[in-house]
Amino acid sequence: MSLADTPQGHPRPSSAPGTPSAQTRHDPAFAAQADAGLPRGPRAARDPRDPVDVRDLPESHRRYGCPPAEYVAVLDAALPRLVASGAAGVTGDGAAAVAVAAGVTRQHPLLADPDELYREALRLAFRRIWPRPDEIEVEKLVPADAVRAFVRSSYRRHRRNPVAVQLIIRENLTGDAGVVDRPGVLESSPVVLQIDRVLMRGQDFGAFRPGISAEDLYLVIDSLCTFPAAAGTTFRAHYGTDLWEQHNADGLEHMACDVALAFLTTSMPTTQGSSYTHSSPSRTTPTSVAASLYSSEGRDAEPLRDRPSGSADVHDLPHR
C-alpha cells in the first residue's frame, strides 16, 4: 500500500474511490466537509492520530492561548465551512457546529471573530501546503535530486490538504481577506527562498538554464500541485480520470517532478531576459526575489526587506 498521501507514514484502510472509510466517517472535519456541502472526496484534514508539529503552524497560533492540538481541531472543523461560505459559514449555528466538532466551547478565542478565523485559516493553509525550510537538505543533494525532493514534498502536502488549497483558491476568487491591500494578513512565506536556494545551486553548477526565477518555478510547481483540488471533480466528469485514485496520484506526482526538471533543463532558447515573470511591488510585497536576485543589478542589491529570518544562507551561495 502506497503511503504517498499519508502523514507521518500511518497506514489507513483502503476503500473504493469516493467511499469514506470508517475512520474518515467519524472524523469531525469530514463531517464538517459534508455538512458544508463540499464533495465527499479526499480527506479534509490531518489524521487525528498524528501529533501536532508546531513548525507546521503559523506563528500567529500563539496569540490564542490554546494548546496546538486544540488550535488544529478548531481550524480543521472550520476549514470546510470557510471554503463553502467564507466567514459567514462560522457565524451563529455554524460557529456552534465548529465548537461541537472540535470539542471546545462556543466562547473559544478562535471563534470570537469570524473574519479573524477566516484569516487565521488562510495563514494555516499556506503553512500546510509547502515544505518547511528544514525538511529538505538542499546542500546534500545534486540539483536535479533537490528539485525532485522539493516538488515531491510540495505535491504530497497539497494532496494531504485539499481543503487548505481550496481556501486559498477561494481567497483568490473573492478577496475576502483583502491580502493584497492589507499587510500582515499573511505571514512571510519562505517557500520562494527555498526554491531560490535550489535554483541558484543548479544554475551555479550549470545544471539549470538561466533566465528562470524562483517565482517562475513556483508557478510551475503550484499549478500542477493545485490541479486535483482545484479542478479534479470536473476533470473526472469530462475524462473519467479520478486524480485521487492512488495510481493517478502517483502518476501526477511523477509528472510534476518531470515537468519542473524539463522546464529547468530544456535547451529551448529564451528571450524573456532574467525571468518569465516580473514583480509589481505593493504594500505587502515591496520587492521580489526574482527582481533582486536574478537581474544583473539585483545581485548587488541591498537585502530583501521582506526576507524571513534565518534565511541568510540563501544569499551566501557563490555566484558565477
| Maximal CA-CA distance, the chain | 60
Could you tell me what percent of the chain has a pLDDT over 90? 57
Among residues 94, 92, 72, which one has the least CA distance to residue 82? Answer: 94
Task: Tell me what the mean pLDDT of segment 83-92 comes to.
Answer: 96
Q: What is the pTM of this model?
A: 0.76
Q: What is the pLDDT of residue 283?
A: 59
pLDDT in tens, 255-281: 999 999 999 999 887 787 788 988 776
Residues 190-249 pLDDT 10s = 888 889 999 999 999 999 999 999 999 999 999 999 999 999 999 999 999 999 999 999
Confidence of residue 49 (pLDDT cuts 50, 70, 90): low
pLDDT tier, 287 (very low <50, low <70, confident <90, very high otherwise): low
Answer positive or negative: Cα dihedral of 307, 312, 314, 316: positive
pLDDT digits (tens, 9 = 90+) for 6-15: 333 333 333 3
Rg (CA), the chain: 20
The pLDDT assigned to 282 comes to 62
Query: Buried (b) or exposed (e) across 184-204, using 16+ Cβ within 10 A?
Result: ebbeeebbbbbbbbbbbbbbe
- 157-192 residue pLDDT tens: 999 999 999 999 999 999 888 887 777 788 877 888
Mean pLDDT over the full length of the chain: 79
Residues of the chain with pLDDT > 70, as a percent, come to 72
Tell whether the model's pLDDT for residue 16 goes beyond 80: no
Give the residue-averaged pLDDT of 25-53.
53
Integer Cα distance of 122 and 131 in angstroms: 16
- What pLDDT is attached to residue 46? 55
pLDDT of residue 48: 61
Q: Is residue 107's pLDDT more than 90?
A: yes
Residue from 287, 264, 260, 291 nearest 277 by CA:
291
Q: Kindly write down the DSSP assignment for every residue of 112-131, as one continuous string.
A: S-HHHHHHHHHHHHHHHHS-
Domain boundaries, the chain: 49-129, 130-278
pLDDT of the residue at 100: 97
Fold of 130-278: Tetracycline Repressor; domain 2 (1.10.357)
Residue 129 has φ and ψ, to the nearest 5°, of -95, -10
Q: What is the mean pLDDT of residues 10-33?
A: 40
Q: Do 207 and 263 meet the contact criterion of CB atoms below 8 Å apart? A: no
Mean pLDDT of all residues in 91-120: 97
Cα–Cα–Cα angle for 195, 196, 201, rounded to 5 degrees: 105
Say if residues 61 and 12 touch (Cβ distance below 8 Å).
no
pLDDT band at residue 308 under the 50/70/90 scheme: very low
